[in-house]
């Protein structure tokens, strides 16, 4: 029901419900009043789960808020890492990142504002040939249509990793100056578990084994590959820092 509320704005019952409960409020940030009905309360309660699977598909970019909405499919969470609108008050909707009156990304502007990784992910989004309305898709099914089964699958895969991610001070992280953009982005992807190690790939590709391709001893998680794999430990030790890592060491976040 919550999914239909987001995607079937033209249907009568959605308009009635939105007028009664949301009024002009935002679906995602709306706070529920005590007097609301139990079905409205349950719609509001599943918002957190919906948030993880919803992504907007850019059409004419007029309905998508650059800073708040999920719209970049190749970034975990589908959102920009933090709200940088402050210095750019005129940039609010995704269409503000287009070349004026064209359906084309303003490459120069995007590279100036976002981190190199985010900029690249944005520039990789292909825009439609003709102006179409922005759409909402559900990313956890191949068809983009919402199913309750896919939510259950998401919940079973989602064992508490998101609480670690949200506790990272991203604003401070992106302010760090003395690293190259490449290393910065790489560390960011490590923290989000966004590296194509075998343990991650094997979740999605049946023919990939999760085994470490270097030592064949353990599952190739990011932590194993960077800290615990005998090959990694040899490299750390041979480095100018002569690091001697123990197996109990973890990536602190």
- The contact set with Zn ion (CB under 5 A) reads 212, 214-215, 229
Q: Residue 136's beta-bridge partner residues?
A: 56
Nearer to Zn ion by Cβ, of 151 and 199: the residue is: 199
Nearer to Zn ion, 22 or 190 (CB): 190
Nearer to Zn ion, 80 or 229 (CB): 229
Phi, psi of 13 (to 5 degrees): -65, -30
CA 17 – CA 30 distance, rounded (Å)? 13
Q: How far apart are CA 108 and CA 192, in angstroms?
A: 27
CB of 236 to Zn ion, least distance (A): 13
Q: How far is the CB of 244 from Zn ion (least distance, A)?
A: 17
Smallest separation, CB 208 to Zn ion (Å): 15
Q: Rounded to 5 degrees, what angle do the CA atoms 102, 7, 68 make? A: 60
Q: Closest approach of Cβ 193 to Zn ion, in Å?
A: 17
d(CA 240, CA 237): 8
Measured CA distances, 217 to 176, 224, 225, 230, 247 (Å): 36, 10, 11, 9, 13
Min separation Cβ 246 and Zn ion, Å: 16
**Residue 128 or residue 230: which is nearer to Zn ion going by CB?**
230
Nearer of residues 50 and 197 to Zn ion, judged by Cβ: 197
Q: How far is the CB of 227 from Zn ion (least distance, A)?
A: 10
Residue with smaller CB distance to Zn ion, 16 or 235: 235
């Amino acid at each position: 029901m919550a999914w239909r509320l987001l995607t079937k704005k033209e249907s009568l019952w959605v308009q009635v419900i939105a007028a009664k409960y949301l009024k002009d409020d935002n679906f995602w940030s709306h706070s529920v009043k005590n007097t609301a009905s139990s079905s409205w309360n349950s719609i509001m309660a599943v918002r957190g789960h919906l948030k993880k699977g919803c992504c907007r598909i850019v059409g004419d970019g007029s309905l998508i808020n650059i800073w708040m909405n999920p719209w970049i499919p190749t970034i975990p969470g589908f959102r920009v890492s933090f709200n940088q609108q402050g210095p750019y008050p005129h940039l609010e909707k995704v269409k503000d990142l287009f070349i004026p009156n064209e359906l084309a990304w303003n490459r120069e502007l995007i590279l100036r504002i976002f981190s190199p990784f985010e900029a690249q992910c944005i520039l990789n989004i292909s825009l439609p040939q003709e102006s179409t309305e922005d759409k909402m898709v559900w990313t956890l099914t191949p068809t983009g249509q919402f199913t309750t089964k896919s939510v259950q699958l998401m919940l079973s895969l989602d064992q508490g990793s998101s609480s670690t991610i949200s506790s990272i001070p991203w604003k401070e992280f992106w302010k760090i100056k003395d690293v190259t953009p490449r290393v910065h982005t790489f560390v960011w992807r490590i923290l989000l578990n966004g590296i194509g190690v075998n343990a991650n790939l094997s979740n999605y590709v049946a023919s990939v084994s999760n085994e470490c391709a270097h030592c064949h001893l353990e599952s190739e998680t990011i932590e194993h590959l960077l800290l615990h794999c005998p090959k990694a430990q040899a490299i750390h030790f041979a480095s100018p820092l002569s690091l001697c890592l123990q197996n109990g060491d973890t990536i602190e976040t």
